[in-house]
């Protein structure tokens, strides 16, 4: 997993391995934030689950 944009954009995140962990792909996360981004122009957003699928 990686941070898509912002101060830490491009930074890779460690994730747990195993059958129960299925991270959301970068392409899907980027598509979702591209769709909702205009509604949060100039705002700070914290993705609490960070694409963990949780």
CB-CB contact of 12 with 2 (8 Å): yes
Coil vs helix vs strand at 12: strand
**What are the residues facing 26 on neighbouring strands?**
none
3-state SS record for 6-29: CCCCCCECCCCCCCCCCCCCHHHH
Q: What pLDDT does residue 51 have?
A: 59
- What percent of the chain lies above the pLDDT cut of 90? 2
Is the model's pLDDT at 46 over the cut of 70?
yes
Both tokens assigned to 50: 């960070």
pTM: 0.47
């Amino acid at each position: 997993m990686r941070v898509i944009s912002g101060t830490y954009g491009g930074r890779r995140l460690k994730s747990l391995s195993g059958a129960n962990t299925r991270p959301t792909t970068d392409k899907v996360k980027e598509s979702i934030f591209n769709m909702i981004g205009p509604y949060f122009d100039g705002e700070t957003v914290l993705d609490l689950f960070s694409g963990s699928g949780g």
